[in-house]
Structure 1
Amino acid sequence: MDPLFEFLCRMGDNTLVLGHRLSEWCGKAPVLEEDIALANTALDLIGQTQMWLTYAGEVEGKGRDADRLAYFRDPYDFRCCLLVQQPNGDFGYTMMRQFLFDCYHLCLLDMLATGKGAGAPHRANPSSDQRIAEIAAKAVKEVTYQQERSADLVIRLGDGTEESHIRMQRALDALWPLTRDMAALDQVDHAMAEADVIADPGALASLWEYMARNVLAEATLIPPDVSHFQKGGKTGQMHSEHLGHLLAVMQSLPRSHPNASW
């Protein structure tokens, strides 16, 4: 196992799967403005996927490009966290899922691009891998906006009507137990830290959670007291039952016509 390849797949698989989930809202969002915003966010995430998986294919050196990695791997080969695999649910559920991932994603990208996580007091060096630092620097601009938008909607819905508050709290209760999977450390993370690819992966959990809890408090939402967090998505050891169904839809066309070109 090449730790760099694994790390790049984690970055690309998260954005790929979440981008596909958001694309499922196209034409179905509650208002036109949100329909357009969700589609644009999905496009941003797929664009980031292209950069991460293209680099992953180059590192692997087996002739697989971004499309081959996206469409011709089976579920157990994916390295996306459990959170992004979850179905859309209602609009509030989708925005809570987006917000929780945005907080983590922003902190991680900022750490890769600048050496610090978003909101961290001390600035260190950016990733020692120049390609990763450049991709992160481009992506962090998009994700900064995405996090601001999802945070604003979580506050508006959480501190809105009685109905919207109930729905947002219900979404938080369901999704919070999946969040530790994003920043759980393993041998890949330690290898990336030793190579100075990422400055301090151990700080990610506290950084993104601090950001999230501040917004949730303003939204009058309370994270549940969880004794057991589900993990295993980012390592590929335990995916949810939803990933296989998502990939079956996403991969059906290229697998039916594997040699097609546009």
Structure 2
Amino acid sequence: MRYSRAARRDKRRRDATDWALFLLGGGLILWGVVAGAQAMPYNWQWYRVPQFFYRVIDGELIWGPFIRGLLVTLQITLWGGLLAMAIGVTTALLRLSRSFIGHAIATVYLEAVRNTPLLVQMYLFYFVLSPILGIDRFWTGVLALAFFEASFISEIIRGGILSVPRGQWEAASALGLKPGPVYARVVLPQAVPLMLPPLTSSLVNLIKSSAIVSTIAIFDLTNEGRNAIADTFMTFEIWLSIAAIYLVMTLSLSGLSAWLERRARRAERRPA
């Protein structure tokens, strides 16, 4: 009991020290930002920012360009994420297969995509593949982002599958399970909790990378911000607001992933 009380006392002391350091660091950063903003010869106009989110005209709520751009960004992220997961799973399975051709195709795709800039790929999709496939700007941006992010997702999935001990595969095969049920009932339940954190990082990166679709004239959140700056010259207010919106999206996704990971680990520890 004495040891338990001492341990709790040490934990409270460490927590208090951590909070003190956090508040001190946060206060210094906030002071630096405020002091720098006051020292700048810039006319801050934060009161004009809300109109880019919404306006009320004659009792009617009208959404501003930031909300319209945010919806486009969310659509790009949703479709890009779904396609990236599908392409990533397919590529990972090809890399794990015994087919020489499949393994070679997957390897060439990974090396080509992961070692060239996303901006160059976006232009190739827009100027080369888009006229061939007959798709519009929106789907061109979605495909470019999906193929780029899938190259990282595939390696995450492959690493998660390979992390399952070989004995689990052999035991499942000894029970007479076919490859499909082996993946669904034995391998993936053990691999998914390991995949969730890096997969979340890839999806967060997809949200941030979606800003590059503004280069092909898609009116996403970033492009709407650039248009607002061109109209108002409120450079800092607009970009800080845009950054805050992206931060809310990425932190929300990270929080959801942490919750899913905790649930998966609790289910894994639960006795059968």
TM-score range, shorter chain: under 0.3
Please identify which structure carries the higher helix content: 2
Decide which structure has the larger Cα Rg and report it: 2
TM-score, with structure 1 as normaliser: 0.28
Compute the TM-score of the two structures, normalised by the length of structure 2.
0.27
